[in-house]
Amino acid sequence: MDKSWWKGAVIYQIYPRSFKDGNQDGIGDLDGITEELDYIRDLGVDAIWLSPIFRSPMKDFGYDISDYREIDPLFGTMADFDRLLEAAHERGIKVILDQVYNHTSDQHPWFKESCSSKDNPKADWYVWVDGEKGTPPNNWLSYFGGEAWEWVETRKQYYLHLFVKEQPDLNWRHHEVRKQVMQSIKFWLDKGVDGFRFDVVNLFYKDDRLRDNPVKYPEEPIAFNRHYHLYTRDRPETEGAVEEIRELMDFYDDRVSIGEVATELGQAQYFAYTRPNRLNLAFNFDFKELRPFAAKTYTEHVKLNESVFRDFAWPSYVLGNHDSKRFLSKLGEGEDALRKAKVLAALLLTLRGTPFIYYGEEIGMREAEIPYEKIVDPQGKNLWPKNVGRDGCRTPMQWNSGLYAGFSRTEPWLPIGGDVQEVNVERQKADPASMLQYYKQLIRIRKASDALRFGRLEFLETKEEALMAFFRIGESERNLVLLNFGDRAIGLNLEDFGVKTWRYLGGTTSHPVGFSGLSLSLEPYEAAILETN
């Protein structure tokens, strides 16, 4: 059994602008994160992944980078970063950084130089194409609305940007670009960071013939992304680039590579990026969109995943991130939504595969409503009201119910969520029945079991439609996970599953740990984790 740390780890995503403000300017920063490392350690997670902290004009809040080797002053200095890294390592917390190499900022010196003429040394470092002003080279569209092409008068050419126009796409076909990327990765590896999340890793190469993408929804206005991105992603050349990254990372001990694979093509694509000589992990975003909330939906999805991944690659699961509506808010309102969220949290933390938790999920933060005037995300600004953007899932972490949720003493860059009175760390620390305590418990249970972290997954067939039941089977231990997706109690005789002895480890009810018996009645939306013979 391969027990690489990242297989057994729980990874916590921090959106640095919104976690904790150390210098009281209203924007989260590195010192703020360092201040809260004890909170992170107590939560029990093994690693933090920081969304970009590098120098950036912030047109896409850090995903537009103008210097890959500098910390943006808003977040602090390199010395602050070194301190954060050291303090995290002292607590046994690994640090994963975001790497954005599909595009740079238009303020990156490379792009400025590239823009200046057609024959400067960096002239081909970006995707430049001849054309007529007003007639872009093909029909490719930006993910953030409108054409993916921008005209530059000095060169009398178009450049490609799959995101906002301030994010020009790098030309990965240029050997020097590839070399620069590898050197920048190496810079952070040498600093001792534990791994990377690679932004839109499957977009690096585009069709060299610039063929039109097939139109998917002809009725959509051009502002919306109405195409299949057939020729703008998953090109075979990308796989070679990923292999080169892996080769570099393998020179170092124990680093993890995680790909953000932006695709609609399903498991096959995640798999393509996570072969033994490619990335260690790729995000599987499917849980974010799975409907309806039913045992069958999730069971089928996980089975499919397992059948694709088998022993070749390691799965991963997320319920939310900085690009999508907070998952709790997708489950509806009130108590039932909270109960459902707890079922999904138990699923996330007991499956075979690396779980990611997005900051705030552990206290049950909901999507915040942001009035139009306060929207800052380019996606929301460009596509409103059809797409309100991502600000609602990026609001400040709610530490307490005081001024600005204890995030800052200055008005924060985004408003505080309306649920702060109930949903905050301080309150939930003191409440044994809170979401925070529940997450801590789940993480603790996972950590204590080799079976849950590394073991095989075996589903149980039952007649109960609302029940999801599976074993996690380790070398010497076995866990049984029972999830009631329904609003009615389910009576179970565990002997039917071949279980003779068991111990209750935890879940949504307050059965005492160690509680045992032969039959077990699952309450509506109950999650129960057992240790069995």
Task: List residues with catalytic annotation.
Answer: 199, 260
Q: Which does 23 bind (CB under 5 to 8 A by kind): ligand NOJ, Ca ion, none?
A: Ca ion
Contacting residue, 6, 21, 104, 108, with Ca ion by CB under 5 A? 21
Q: How many residues does the chain have?
A: 533
Rule CB under 6 A: say whether 163 interacts with ligand NOJ. Answer: yes
For ligand NOJ, give the closer residue by CB, 234 or 260: 260
Output 165 or 322, the one with its CB closest to Ca ion.
322
Both tokens assigned to 440: 């801590």
- Which one among 5, 8, 25, 437 touches Ca ion, defined by CB under 5 A? 25
Residue 49 has φ and ψ, to the nearest 5°, of -115, 125
| Amino acid letter, 51 | S
101 binds ligand NOJ (CB under 6 A): no
Dist. CA 368–CA 510, nearest whole Å: 31
Phi, psi (degrees; rounded to nearest 5) at 128: -100, 140
Which of residues 70 and 323 has its CB atom nearest to ligand NOJ in the complex? 323
Told to check if 97 binds ligand NOJ by CB under 6 A, we report no
Helix then strand then coil, % of the chain, to nearest 5? 30, 20, 50
Closest CB to ligand NOJ among 283 and 502?
A: 283
Shortest Å, Cβ 321 to ligand NOJ: 7
**323 near ligand NOJ, rule: CB under 6 A:** yes
Residue with structure tokens 């002239």?
123
Among ligand NOJ, Ca ion, none, what binds residue 27 when CB lies within 5 to 8 Å by partner kind?
Ca ion
Residue 61 has, within 13 A of its CA and on its CB side, a CA count of 22
CB of 233 to ligand NOJ, least distance (A): 12
Residue count at the site for Ca ion (CB under 5 A)?
A: 5
Cβ proximity to ligand NOJ: between 44 and 378 the closer is 378
In this chain, which of 12, 13, 15, 29 binds Ca ion, going by CB under 5 A? Answer: 29
Spatial contact of 331 and 291, defined as CB atoms under 8 Å apart: no
325 counts as binding ligand NOJ under rule CB under 6 A? no
Contact positions with ligand NOJ (CB under 6 A) in 244-283? 260
Q: Which stretch of DSSP H or E encloses residue 57?
A: none
Burial of 208 (0-12, 13-18, 19+ CB in 10 A): exposed
At residue 449's C-alpha, the angle toward residues 447 and 450, to 5°, is 105
Residue 166 within binding range of ligand NOJ, rule CB under 6 A: no
Question: Would you tell me how many other CB atoms lie within 10 Å of the CB of residue 518?
Answer: 12
Dihedral sign for Cα 311, 11, 525, 473, please: positive
- Single out the residue of 23, 107, 180, 410 in contact with Ca ion (rule: CB under 5 A): 23
DSSP bridge pairs for 12: 48, 357
Judged by the rule CB under 6 A, the positions of this chain that interact with ligand NOJ are 60, 63, 100, 163, 199-200, 260, 322-323
Judged by the rule CB under 5 A, the positions of this chain that interact with Ca ion are 21, 23, 25, 27, 29
